[in-house]
Amino acid sequence: METFSYVKAPNVEKALASADGAKFIAGGTTLVDLMKLYVETPKTLVDINLLPLDKIEKLPDGGLRIGAMVRNSDLAWSEEVKKSYPVLSEALLSGASPQLRNMATTGGNLLQRTRCMYFREPSAGTPGGYGCNKRTPGTGCAAVDGFNRMHAVLGTSDKCIATHPSDMCVAMAALEAVIHVEGPKGKRTIAFADFHKLPGETPHIENALEAGELITHVDLPKPVEGAKSTYLKLRDRASYEFALASAAVVARVEGGHIRYIRVAMGGVGTKPWRSREAEAALMGKPANEAAFKAAAQAALAKAKPQKDNAFKVELAKRCLVRSLKTATATA
């Protein structure tokens, strides 16, 4: 780890004033790892643990405001989240371990970086190290010709095939969350779908944040009346493991037909993967296995498997079909 200076910000104003060339540290559960691996080498850490951003509040329009410093455990076990947004609670509880969730924050989870082993290799992107366009643009992508069992099949480019690792973000994509940020140019909001970026030609640009911007909170829209939601995560072992494939579904069925549907997938995309193709295939259709299978087919139609991860295509389809069955079950 390289040396760095450390500042504890007492309020948002001070945090923003200290942010130039610095990194915010929240739970530290991923940033400190990345610093030890020389992936991140900030000169200054601005500790944001004193900021008053740790509340979960009902909004007047029926939505929910989640402070950026709300811990993953507190969010998952919130009565309001369990009752009105079960998909989010289930996604959070499927991630990491209880100890990590007690530290990890909403803002930090949004900004966690890929677990691609080439990206996390200390020498990646340096002469003699593995190529990694995320670490150093123009050095190539070792994963494309390397071992890529855990890598993405959707949203990849020839520059990067790294999977986005978050579970929470998959649920938030299906819930159409809105991210609020504050920075040197003031406050703004970013729709969840626009927050994470596809790798394209610039895999080192991972999100829509500008230099020095702080995530202050995330808003969830009012729960959809009569809708049910669920999160299913498939992985190599039952806990403490990242997804091979996951699905978040929010659905409302009336008279046996699907009248509202949101679908997002994890473990398969280079960003939390909202599947508008699956939604289009399901909307207005009878809630039955044939429709679910057609939606899964549509969701994965553009999948580009690599040499070690073709199994993810079928796995993701089955994951989605099972989630759709759960979310639309009438009993």
Please give the residue whose beta carbon sits closest to ligand FAD in the complex.
108
Contacts of ligand FAD in 31-70 (CB under 6 A): 31, 33, 48, 68
- 272 lies in the binding site for ligand FAD (CB under 6 A): no
CB 174 within 8 Å of CB 229: yes
Separation between Cα atoms, residue 143 and residue 217, nearest integer Å: 34
Rounded (10°) CA dihedral 220, 163, 269, 196: 40
Q: Give burial (CB, 10 Å; 0-12/13-18/19+) of 63.
A: middle
Tokens 């991210």 correspond to 179
Left if phi > 0, otherwise alpha if psi is -120 to 50, otherwise beta: which for 63?
beta
Left if phi > 0, otherwise alpha if psi is -120 to 50, otherwise beta: which for 177?
beta
Binding mask 279-318 for ligand FAD (x = CB under 6 A): ----------------------------------------
Closest-CA residue to 84 (of 222, 262, 264): 222
Residue 155 is given by DSSP the state S
CB 162 within 8 Å of CB 148: no
Tokens 């915010």 correspond to 24
List residues bridging with 274 in a β-sheet: 264
Neighbours of 185 (CB within 10 A): 10
Q: How far is the CB of 282 from ligand FAD (least distance, A)?
A: 26
Amino acid at 297: Q
Q: Which is nearer to ligand FAD, 211 or 301 (CB)?
A: 211
Choose the stretch contacting ligand FAD; rule: CB under 6 A; options: 28-36, 152-160, 172-180, 311-319.
28-36
Q: Which is nearer to ligand FAD, 95 or 155 (CB)?
A: 95
Instruction: Give helix 311-328 / helix 289-300 axis angle, nearest 10°.
Output: 140
CA distances from 296 to 61, 181, 264, 275 (A): 33, 34, 11, 9
| Binding-site member from 18, 30, 78, 270 for ligand FAD (CB under 6 A) | 30
Choose the stretch contacting ligand FAD; rule: CB under 6 A; options: 104-112, 145-153, 276-284, 290-298.
104-112
Q: How far is the CB of 166 from ligand FAD (least distance, A)?
A: 4
Q: Which is nearer to ligand FAD, 105 or 230 (CB)?
A: 105
| Binding-site member from 86, 108, 212, 272 for ligand FAD (CB under 6 A) | 108
- 8 lies in the binding site for ligand FAD (CB under 6 A): no
List residues bridging with 263 in a β-sheet: 249
Binding mask 158-197 for ligand FAD (x = CB under 6 A): -------xxxx-----------------------------
Contacts of ligand FAD in 70-89 (CB under 6 A): 72
Neighbours of 175 (CB within 10 A): 27
| Binding-site member from 8, 23, 82, 285 for ligand FAD (CB under 6 A) | 23
| Binding-site member from 96, 249, 250, 319 for ligand FAD (CB under 6 A) | 96
Binding mask 230-259 for ligand FAD (x = CB under 6 A): ------------x-----------------
- 25 lies in the binding site for ligand FAD (CB under 6 A): yes
Contacts of ligand FAD in 215-234 (CB under 6 A): 215
Residue 60 has φ and ψ, to the nearest 5°, of -55, -30
- 100 lies in the binding site for ligand FAD (CB under 6 A): yes
* The two three-digit tokens of residue 217, written as one number: 């909170």
Residues that bind ligand FAD (CB under 6 A): 23-31, 33, 48, 68, 72, 95-96, 100, 103-105, 107-109, 111-112, 165-168, 214-215, 242
